[in-house]
Amino acid sequence: MRLVCLAALAVVTVLACHSGGDSRVSCAGTGAAVVVNANDNYTFNPSGATVNAGQSVCWQVTGTLAHTATADKGTFDGTVDEGTWYLHIFPDTGTFTYYCQLHQAFGMQGTITVVP
């Protein structure tokens, strides 16, 4: 299996990996404090989660539709589809609301609360 990963380093580290179509790739093994499933019924599960500052959240698809995890204030933006995942590290405390750009009309949104 060929695994292609892209990484960007700024204030936070963001990773997106793609397996070349292998849907067995998931957030397992990423070390994420929370895994959010993006579902074909236009929901994030869980829709709300709490992590400590410095921990990460990983989004993965549990169906066949592509989704995004796009912060309302632009602090993160990742795309996931079959065989991909998106990881974001939250260095600062606060409440971060996000939505799916592709399914915003369906009310697909979530919230990450980051505590000290």
Phi-psi region of 67 (alpha: psi -120 to 50; beta: other; left: phi over 0): beta
What single-letter amino acid sits at 55?
Q
SS (H, E, C) 78-108: EEECCCEEEEEECCCCEEEEEECHHHHHHCC
CA–CA gap between residue 94 and residue 76 (Å, rounded): 14
Contact 17, 24 (CB under 8 A): no
Fold of 4-115: Immunoglobulin-like (2.60.40)
- Domain locations in the chain as residue ranges: 4-115
What confidence tens digit (pLDDT) does each residue in 4-62 have? 444 333 334 445 444 333 445 689 999 999 999 999 999 999 999 999 999 999 999 99
What confidence tens digit (pLDDT) does each residue in 64-93 have? 999 999 999 999 999 999 889 999 999 999
